Amino acid sequence: MQHVQHNTPLPVGLPEGLTIREEAPGALTLSFACDLDSATVAGLWAPVLDRVRSRAAGADTGSGPGAVRLEFLPDCYIDGAGLALLVKLRAEAEARGAQVTLTGLSESQEHLLGLAGQAERVASQKPHDRRGLRVLIQSGVGDILTTSAEIISYVGECALVLWDSLRHPERVRWKDVLLSALAVGVESMPIVLLIGFLMGLIMSFQSVITLQRFGGEIFVPNMLGLVMFREMGPLVTAILLAARSGSAFAAEIGTMRVNEELDALATMGISPVRFLVGPRILSSLCMVPFMVLFFNFASLVGGALVMLSIGFPLVTFTSRVFDNVTGTDLTGSLAKIIVFSLLVAGVSCLRGLRTGGGASAVGRSTTAAVVSGLILITIADGLFAVLFYYLKI
């Protein structure tokens, strides 16, 4: 099946259906008498590319740049693997200064080959942004302003939804609020109790170890009550809310965005914020006060267990906690967690509404919702600390 001229050695053991001829110095002809599909390309790839690399530039004869001719049967079938082989062949030959001609391809196959080659060239090009500093600054400022306008619009719409829910409770979809409340509060209660108990246990144990050197174990209940009610209770509960419920909000609404369900709601004249965001924010506001109370209770149980283990009676622990924790501390804790829940639920739903297209868009929105929620919680907690300091709370 092989015709050799000019006494040029050709590789032996070529795959069936491939004929390689050298018709002139530096000129190479490859005839394909088989379909170029995934089954045959695997055997053709290495020998064809090796031959083109060794002869396309006339390296063996010193004749300079040559030509590569590819011949195909009229009814040759070419799939994606075959297109990849042809694109690679043409690129290798042209890189060595050889001219490539193809015969026997249909118009549709030539069109597909052109598209594949164009896509290969675009993918190989490195993006180079030649915009000046002024244009980059203007573009960045424009993006910030656009994002800020979207956030302000979203916050205003959420505020209107909550205000309308207070004025007209009959308009609220209470069934959805109840289902969301079960997911936010009831189903998360085991992890809230577990984390609260462990944190109270660990903090009390570490404090006892330190204060025993100075005979100050009796002050552990004071410390635990103040720390849990004023700071750790609402903060850790909000973090759990962001990690568990916030991510779920973003994933649910993001999936609806990808499936174009939000577009369907807008087409029917239904506001996605009122229909989807409102019930989730209301359920978070209703459930987080109970979550933080149960968290504080579990932490006190853990602290009481440590105090009992070192010989203090339970009545001593409870009396010192109630003597040092006031109603103001409890009120401040509830105020914190309500603000935290508004921030977490709001930003999580916003990330879900702004989900882009693609299979990974929902994952990115979920990650962004958790990260944004944690950042907002930290900022809000710092502002509360400054506010409580100036109010002497």
Mean pLDDT of 102-113: 78
Q: Are strands 67-72 and 27-32 parallel, antiparallel or unpaired?
A: parallel
Whether the pLDDT of residue 79 is over 70: the answer is yes
Whether the pLDDT of residue 97 is over 80: the answer is no
Q: Identity (one letter) of the amino acid at 233?
A: G
What are the pLDDT digits (tens) for 236-252?
999 999 999 999 999 99
Query: Given this model, what pLDDT does residue 5 score?
Result: 43
Q: What is the CA radius of gyration of the chain?
A: 35
What are the pLDDT digits (tens) for 250-272?
999 999 988 888 888 888 888 88
Higher per-residue confidence, 216 vs 295 = 295
**Half-sphere exposure in the Cβ direction for 347 (13 Å, CA):** 21
Question: What's the CA angle centered on 377, arms 372 and 382, to 5 degrees?
Answer: 130
Mean pLDDT of 28-40: 78
Dump the DSSP string for 267-307: HTT--HIIIIIHHHHHHHHHHHHHHHHHHHHHHHHHHHHHH
pLDDT classification of 3: cutoffs 50, 70, 90: very low
Q: Are residues 266 and 162 in the same domain?
A: yes
Residue 8: inside a domain:
no
Residue 278: inside a domain:
yes
> How far apart (Å, rounded) are the C-alpha atoms in residues 249 and 96?
56
Mean pLDDT of 114-130: 64
Whether the pLDDT of residue 156 is over 80: the answer is yes
Mean pLDDT of 117-139: 66
Higher per-residue confidence, 154 vs 53 = 154
Mean pLDDT of 198-227: 89
Q: Are residues 89 and 151 in the same domain?
A: no
**Half-sphere exposure in the Cβ direction for 206 (13 Å, CA):** 8
Mean pLDDT of 26-53: 77
- Looking at the structure of the chain, the number of domains it has is 2
Query: Scanning the structure block, which residue is given the tokens 């070529």?
Result: 14
> How far apart (Å, rounded) are the C-alpha atoms in residues 26 and 56?
6
Q: Are strands 67-72 and 99-103 parallel, antiparallel or unpaired?
A: parallel
Mean pLDDT of 269-282: 89
Residue 205: inside a domain:
yes
Domain coverage including residue 242: 143-391
Structure pTM?
Answer: 0.65
Residue 11: inside a domain:
no
Of 58, 91, 124, the position where a domain reaches its end is: 124
Q: What is the separation of C-alpha 143 from the centre of its chain, rounded to a whole number of angstroms?
A: 21
Query: Given this model, what pLDDT does residue 2 score?
Result: 41
Q: Are residues 267 and 363 in the same domain?
A: yes
Higher per-residue confidence, 8 vs 121 = 121
Query: Given this model, what pLDDT does residue 120 score?
Result: 66
In this structure, of 46-55, 125-134, 194-203, the range with the lowest mean pLDDT score is: 125-134
Query: Given this model, what pLDDT does residue 64 score?
Result: 46
Residue 258: inside a domain:
yes
> How far apart (Å, rounded) are the C-alpha atoms in residues 45 and 385?
68
In this structure, of 17-26, 172-181, 244-253, 354-363, the range with the lowest mean pLDDT score is: 17-26
Q: Are residues 147 and 106 in the same domain?
A: no
Query: Given this model, what pLDDT does residue 130 score?
Result: 61
Residue 6: inside a domain:
no
Residue 25: inside a domain:
yes
Question: What's the CA angle centered on 13, arms 7 and 19, to 5 degrees?
Answer: 65
What are the pLDDT digits (tens) for 290-305?
999 999 999 999 999 9
Please state, rounded to an integer, the average pLDDT across all residues of the chain: 82
Residue 135: inside a domain:
no
Q: Are residues 297 and 183 in the same domain?
A: yes
Q: Helix (H, G, I), strand (E, B), or coil: what is residue 350?
A: helix
> How far apart (Å, rounded) are the C-alpha atoms in residues 49 and 85?
9
Distances 380 to 7, 158, 283, 374 between C-alpha atoms, Å: 83, 19, 21, 10
CB contact set of 341 (below 8 Å; sequence gap of 6+): 238, 241, 284, 285, 288
Higher per-residue confidence, 129 vs 380 = 380
Q: Are residues 370 and 343 in the same domain?
A: yes
> How far apart (Å, rounded) are the C-alpha atoms in residues 84 and 113?
9
Q: Are strands 18-24 and 27-32 parallel, antiparallel or unpaired?
A: antiparallel
Query: Given this model, what pLDDT does residue 269 score?
Result: 84
Q: Are residues 82 and 165 in the same domain?
A: no
Report the CATH number that the domain containing residue 91 is assigned in CATH.
Answer: 3.30.750.24
Q: Are residues 43 and 165 in the same domain?
A: no
What are the pLDDT digits (tens) for 340-386?
999 999 999 999 988 887 778 889 999 999 999 999 999 999 999 99
Q: Are residues 93 and 178 in the same domain?
A: no
Alpha helices in the chain (DSSP H): 38-55, 80-95, 107-124, 133-167, 174-181, 189-211, 220-227, 233-241, 247-258, 261-267, 272, 278-309, 314-324, 327-353, 361-391
Angle between helices 174-181 and 278-309 (to 10 degrees): 30
Q: Are residues 267 and 337 in the same domain?
A: yes
> How far apart (Å, rounded) are the C-alpha atoms in residues 313 and 307?
8
